């Protein structure tokens, strides 16, 4: 039944004896891999485990949603899955109070720009196109992990307020005229970045680095999609201005 576990054993047999006996440093980070391609799951489990991650595996959509209830630190989500597909899973995760803040990296064979845009508009935090190198994916996981941890530790208790918009860093909540906004993690970081320096024009690259993560290989217009959904959520208090040929700023 649980092929993920059997697999770990199989792969360990192939490892040289030195690395089997070497003490493994666990990093305490739990990664949920929702993926039906066995060879890819095998490679991910092996590499994540070796890097100290605790790995959970779900081979279909239903199992993925169930395991997401255990609140992993990061979810790697395939789009083409048997049962519930990745797009529906993402929507479900983002609409559920318990799971909506979990960082999600969408892993998909679909390389079309539109698919990337759809993934981000549904609240994915990063997007990796198959085929990819496991090493690159591990870097992206680390980058995502770092930026989901940093704000809370660095600026605990901080409140960023401008006009009628408020970002509460400690509680990781955002408000417009005291009404709470339902933001994706990326939208939250975008708003935080813009709100910290009202009037300052930010390039798309800068916004991508702070909201999606340095080194993320995404299209520049991905940021436009996040901004678009953020503006919609800000409603009448949308004070984000487009800076032609550069990017965006929050009105002073």
Which chain residues interact with Ca ion by CB under 5 A? 36, 78, 80
For residue 76, the SS3 value is: strand
CB of 109 vs Ca ion, minimal distance in Å: 7
With respect to Ca ion, which residue has the nearer C-beta, 82 or 199? Answer: 82
The number of angstroms, rounded, from the C-alpha of 52 to the middle of its chain's C-alpha atoms is 19
Beta bridge partners of 104: 75
Return the structure tokens found at 82: 């048997």
Number of H helices, E strands in the chain: 10, 12
With respect to Ca ion, which residue has the nearer C-beta, 39 or 156? Answer: 39
With respect to Ca ion, which residue has the nearer C-beta, 110 or 231? Answer: 110
With respect to Ca ion, which residue has the nearer C-beta, 89 or 239? Answer: 89
CB of 227 vs Ca ion, minimal distance in Å: 30
CB of 127 vs Ca ion, minimal distance in Å: 15
CB of 80 vs Ca ion, minimal distance in Å: 4
CB of 37 vs Ca ion, minimal distance in Å: 5
For residues 18 and 13, what is the distance between their CA atoms, to the nearest angstrom?
A: 12
Task: Decide: 209 and 223 in contact? Cβ < 8 Å.
Answer: no
For residues 225 and 119, what is the distance between their CA atoms, to the nearest angstrom?
A: 10
DSSP output for 117-182: HHHHHTT-SEEEESS--HHHHHHHHHHHHHHHHHHHHHTTT-EEEETTEEEETTTTEEEETTEEP-
Q: The sheet that has 247-250: what strands, in order across it?
A: 202-203, 247-250, 240-243
CB of 128 vs Ca ion, minimal distance in Å: 13
With respect to Ca ion, which residue has the nearer C-beta, 48 or 181? Answer: 48
Q: Which residue is nearest to Ca ion (CB)?
A: 80
With respect to Ca ion, which residue has the nearer C-beta, 44 or 165? Answer: 44
């Amino acid at each position: 039944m649980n092929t993920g576990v059997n697999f770990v054993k199989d792969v360990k047999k192939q490892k040289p004896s030195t690395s089997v006996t070497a003490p493994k440093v666990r990093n305490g980070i739990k990664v949920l891999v929702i993926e039906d391609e066995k060879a890819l799951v095998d490679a991910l489990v092996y590499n994540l485990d070796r890097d100290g991650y605790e790995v959970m595996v779900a081979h279909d959509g239903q199992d993925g949603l169930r395991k997401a209830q255990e609140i992993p630190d990061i979810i790697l989500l395939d789009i083409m899955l048997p049962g519930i597909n990745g797009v529906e899973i993402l929507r479900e995760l983002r609409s559920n109070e318990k799971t909506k803040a979990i960082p999600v990296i969408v892993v998909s064979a679909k390389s079309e720009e539109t698919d990337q845009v759809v993934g981000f508009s549904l609240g994915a935090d990063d997007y990796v196109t198959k085929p990819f190198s496991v090493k690159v994916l591990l870097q992206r996981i680390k980058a995502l992990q770092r930026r989901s941890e940093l704000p809370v530790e660095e600026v605990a208790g901080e409140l960023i307020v401008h006009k009628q918009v408020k970002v509460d860093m400690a509680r990781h909540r955002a408000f417009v005229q005291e009404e709470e906004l339902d933001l994706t993690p990326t939208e939250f970081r975008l708003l935080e970045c813009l709100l910290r320096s009202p009037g300052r024009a930010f390039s798309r690259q800068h916004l991508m680095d702070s909201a999606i993560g340095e080194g993320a290989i995404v299209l520049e217009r991905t940021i436009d999609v996040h901004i678009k959904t953020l503006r919609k959520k800000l409603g009448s208090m949308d004070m984000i201005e487009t800076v032609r040929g550069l990017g965006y700023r929050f009105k002073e």
